[in-house]
């Protein structure tokens, strides 16, 4: 059996889908169907991942029997104030006949005539007290479950920033003891006439206690099988005699005392609570202990004698693990899920994990909502999933943790766009916006992650910044033409080309929008506008960097060298103007350095960004007035636009 679905009404960040605050069967704030095996909750901080995790814990309980009390602050605070009632409902499926037998009073059948168990928590506030009921059943009333049935639904939970050393240490509430006691190795065994047999560990402790008692009572320790380990030691009889003497002074003469030293708790449960689990004699690092703790939990979930819900829920799997270790652990978990049919619910902030896991297993949380990225839920086709699993890397995986996403074509835009955002007063980090370089025109595959096939609206804005790509050719005499398939032709109508591009990428709800350069590439088009001189200087500096790399001279460009190049570049620009060259012809000469691979687009963008930031206060108004920069600034405004509709210009 596995957790198939969770619905949440008015719990913490999650309200109701219609914002009414009234709990009805058709308006849960979250209605999330889970995969039977692996589920990964991703999203920015405070987006609702822990809300979902804690909701599941409240209904099902945990193997560690952690106590969780519903408090007033757990009720959703919405437009109408603090709600007075909440509901969380879990649906369990996948039962075999034996599992279903344990829930006969509450189990029902789904539309496919398969076993289904609905368990829900309903809480409300009365007279400043929070009343909580957990019920199950096929009808709306339900009945309370007995303890034996509820115990079969308990999940295994690893909290974030867990103290693995403490969890694996001896103690009355030892988690290690809870894990071990559920293994068949430590179950009660009975002999003839149903007589309970001593466990081997109990026999070992009994023998150890006999040795300890003899150590403190015998005058001399003879060499035999049981005392061989004590041979040659003086024993502790004198110490015990002193203790006995003090006691005899404290008691009446007819109350003779015979104290003895021993290992307390000789029953198996007590012995297990005194066991610890370590990797080495020296204290292990947090990462190693975290892996040991996860491995110990898997002992319980994968035990042959385990009966119950095999659900492991881990918050921040990456806690204390470096990227390579994260990948090894998640690969191992994915292998074990196939071998033992476990179900995993993980939360992560790790871009490394987000880039290595199958997109089909992701659940994107945002503003108290949850969106499955599984097959059929997004605008992605099967081959899109395969493409993204091949090419989506750790840097691009930032898009899963953003409030807004800027998809750009290459490294040049990736460098320049954040600088422009800072200049116009929209620093992307302050607005939670990620810039994702796709390295090609694969925008559609990435943007379709955020398109929904269901009725839900994913409230993340996406801007695609791309080139219109109408190639320009300078045929002399200031005449610019376009070339397609090697043939010269008139420049295509930019408006028509724009419509084609927009229709290909934009979403109907306006959340995903395309912003393209006016004519050709970003670099060429910027060279035709107010910042042509800046582009000329940037490409000229980049040309020096390229020539050094070509000659295996990897010395960087100093600011002094850059200023010298800037003066020379200005001289070139002045001579072009003296020749009365059109702005397009000048732009072509600037862009030629990039087109002929004499300068790097990335280095050009880096130096252009530096120069713009050097003159930040002076260039802001000029930049906003430049029509060739408008598509970039419009894209930035789109993904940083406040909810009230004020674009901040």
For 348-373, the pLDDT digits (tens) are 999 998 988 889 999 999 989 999 99
pLDDT of residue 642: 65
Judge residue 65's burial from the number of C-beta atoms within 10 Å of its C-beta, 0-12 exposed, 13-18 middle, 19 or more buried.
exposed
- Of the listed ranges 86-90, 209-213, 231-235, the least confidently predicted one is 231-235
20-26 long-range contacts (CB < 8 A, ≥24 apart) are 21/76, 21/78, 21/80, 21/83, 23/85, 23/86, 23/87, 25/140
**Rounded to an integer, what distance in angstroms lies between the CA atom of residue 336 and that of residue 240?**
53
Name 143's bridge partners: 136
Q: Which CATH class is domain 2-167+285-365?
A: alpha beta
Which range has the worst mean pLDDT, 334-338, 352-356, 372-376, 489-493?
489-493
Q: In the predicted model, what is the mean pLDDT of residues 559-574?
A: 91
Our CA dihedral for 374, 375, 376, 377, rounded to 10 degrees, sits at 20
pLDDT (tens digit per residue) in 571-594: 989 999 999 888 888 998 999 999
Written as one string, the DSSP assignment of 526-576 is HTTTTTHHHHHHHHHHHHHHHHHHHTT--PPPPHHHHHHHHHHHHHHHHHH
Instruction: State residue 646's pLDDT score.
Output: 43
What is the band of 643 on the pLDDT scale with cuts at 50, 70, 90? very low
Across 403-416, average pLDDT: 93
Residue 479 φ/ψ region, left for φ over 0, alpha for ψ in the -120 to 50 degree band, beta for the rest = beta
Specify which residues 346 forms β-bridges with: 40, 314
Reported as a pLDDT band with limits 50, 70 and 90, residue 648 is very low
Average pLDDT on 493-518 reads 89
Query: Residues 282-290: what's their mean pLDDT?
Result: 77
Other CB atoms closer than 10 Å to residue 47's CB: what's the count?
Answer: 21
DSSP-assigned letters across all residues of 78-95: ETTEE-SEEEEEEEEE--
Q: How far apart are CA 68 and CA 54, in angstroms?
A: 9
Task: Tell which wins on pLDDT, 303 or 328.
Answer: 328
The per-residue pLDDT for range 81-104, each reduced to its tens digit, is: 899 999 999 999 999 998 999 999
39-69: pLDDT as tens digits: 999 999 899 999 999 999 999 998 888 777 8
Under 8 Å between Cβ of 318 and 353: yes
Dist CA 28 CA 282 (whole Å): 51
Q: Cα–Cα distances in Å, from 531 out to 356, 514, 528, 627?
A: 41, 23, 8, 11
Q: What is the DSSP letter of 195?
A: P
pLDDT digits (tens, 9 = 90+) for 529-562: 899 999 999 999 999 998 888 777 777 788 888 8
430-450 pLDDT, tens digit each: 999 999 999 888 888 999 999
Average pLDDT for residues 506-512, to the nearest whole number? 90
Higher pLDDT, 148 or 300: 148
Q: Are 434 and 399 in contact (CB under 8 A)?
A: yes
Crossing angle between the packed helical segments 411-423 and 630-640, to the nearest 10 degrees: 70
The answer to whether residues 407 and 444 touch, using CB atoms and an 8 Å cutoff, is no
3-state secondary structure of 129: strand
CA distances from 343 to 50, 151, 182, 340, 373 (A): 18, 17, 19, 9, 18
Strand residues in 264-338 grouped as ranges (E)? 311-314
pLDDT at 504 exceeding the cut of 60: yes
Least confident among 177-186, 265-274, 434-443: 177-186
Per-domain residue ranges of the chain: 2-167+285-365, 173-276, 391-523, 527-632
CA distance 274 to 266: 10
Predicted pLDDT at 644: 42
Place of tokens 């796709």: 438
Q: What is the pLDDT of residue 119?
A: 97
Say if residue 214's pLDDT is above 80: yes
| Residue 356 in tokens | 């290595």
Of 587, 473, 619, the closest CA to residue 522 belongs to: 587
pLDDT at site 477 = 55
How crowded is the C-beta side of 605, counted as CA atoms within 13 Å? 18
Residue 461: exposure state from Cβ atoms within 10 A (0-12, 13-18, ≥19): buried
Q: Which helix (H) or strand (E) holds 33?
A: strand 30-33
pTM above 0.75, yes or no: yes
What is residue 491's DSSP assignment?
P
Tell me what the mean pLDDT of segment 382-410 comes to.
91
CB-based contacts of 307: which residues, under 8 Å, 6+ apart? 99, 102, 152
CA distance 244 to 559: 86
């Amino acid at each position: 059996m596995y957790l198939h679905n969770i619905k949440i009404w008015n719990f913490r960040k999650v309200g109701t889908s219609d914002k009414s605050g009234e709990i009805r069967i058709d308006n849960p704030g979250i209605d999330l169907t889970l995969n039977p095996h692996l589920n990964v909750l991703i999203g920015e901080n405070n987006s609702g991942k822990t809300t979902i995790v804690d909701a599941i814990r409240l209904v099902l309980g945990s193997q560690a029997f952690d106590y969780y009390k519903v408090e007033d602050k757990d009720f959703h605070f919405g437009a109408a104030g603090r709600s007075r009632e909440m509901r969380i409902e879990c649906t369990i499926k996948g039962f075999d006949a034996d599992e279903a037998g344990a829930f006969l009073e509450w189990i029902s059948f789904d539309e496919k005539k398969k076993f289904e168990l609905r368990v829900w928590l309903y809480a409300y506030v009365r007279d400043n007290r929070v009343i909580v009921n957990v019920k199950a059943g096929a009808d709306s009333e339900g009945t309370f479950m007995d303890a034996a049935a509820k115990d079969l639904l308990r999940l295994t939970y690893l909290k974030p920033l867990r103290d693995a050393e403490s969890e694996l240490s001896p103690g009355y509430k030892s988690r290690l003891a809870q894990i071990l006691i559920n293994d068949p190795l430590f179950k009660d065994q009975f002999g003839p006439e149903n007589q309970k047999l001593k466990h081997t560990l109990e026999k070992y402790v009994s023998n150890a206690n006999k040795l300890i008692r003899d150590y403190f009572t015998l005058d001399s320790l003879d060499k035999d099988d049981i005392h061989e380990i004590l041979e040659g030691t003086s024993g502790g009889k004198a110490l015990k005699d002193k203790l006995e003497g003090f006691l005899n002074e404290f008691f009446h003469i007819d109350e003779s005392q015979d104290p003895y030293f021993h290992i307390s708790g000789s029953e198996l449960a007590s012995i297990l609570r005194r066991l610890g689990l370590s990797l080495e004699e020296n204290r292990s690092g947090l990462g190693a202990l975290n892996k040991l703790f996860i491995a110990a939990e898997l002992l319980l979930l994968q035990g042959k004698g385990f009966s119950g819900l095999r659900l492991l829920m881990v918050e921040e799997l990456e806690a204390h693990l470096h990227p390579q270790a994260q990948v090894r652990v998640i690969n191992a978990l994915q292998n074990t899920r196939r071998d033992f049919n476990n179900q995993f619910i993980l939360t992560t902030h790790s871009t490394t994990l987000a880039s290595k896991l199958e997109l089909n297993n992701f659940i994107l949380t945002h503003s108290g909502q949850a969106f499955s990225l599984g097959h059929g839920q997004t605008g992605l086709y099967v081959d899109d999933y395969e493409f993204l699993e091949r090419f989506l890397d750790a840097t691009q995986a930032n898009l899963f943790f953003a409030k807004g996403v800027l998809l750009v074509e290459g490294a040049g835009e990736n460098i320049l766009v954040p600088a422009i955002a800072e200049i116009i007063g929209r620093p992307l980090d302050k607005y939670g916006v990620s810039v994702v370089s796709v390295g090609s025109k694969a925008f559609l595959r990435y943007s379709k992650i955020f398109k929904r096939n269901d009725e839900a609206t994913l409230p993340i804005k996406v801007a695609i910044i791309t080139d219109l790509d109408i190639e320009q050719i300078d045929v002399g005499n200031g005449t610019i033409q376009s070339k397609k398939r090697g043939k010269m032709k008139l420049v295509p109508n930019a408006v028509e080309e724009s419509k084609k591009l927009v229709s290909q990428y934009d979403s109907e709800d306006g959340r995903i929008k395309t912003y393209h350069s006016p004519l050709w590439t970003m670099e060429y088009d910027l060279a035709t506008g107010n910042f042509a001189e800046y582009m000329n200087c940037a490409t000229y500096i980049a040309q020096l960097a390229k020539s050094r790399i070509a000659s295996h001279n990897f010395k960087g460009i100093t600011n002094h060298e850059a200023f010298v190049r800037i003066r020379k570049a200005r001289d070139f620009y002045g001579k072009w103007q003296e020749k009365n060259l059109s702005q397009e012809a000048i732009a072509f000469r600037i862009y030629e350095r990039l087109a002929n691979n004499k300068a790097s687009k990335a280095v050009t963008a880096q130096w252009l960004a530096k120069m713009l930031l050097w003159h930040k206060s002076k260039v802001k108004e000029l930049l906003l007035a430049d029509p060739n920069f408008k598509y970039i600034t419009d894209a930035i405004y789109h993904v940083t636009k406040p909810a009230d509709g004020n674009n901040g210009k």
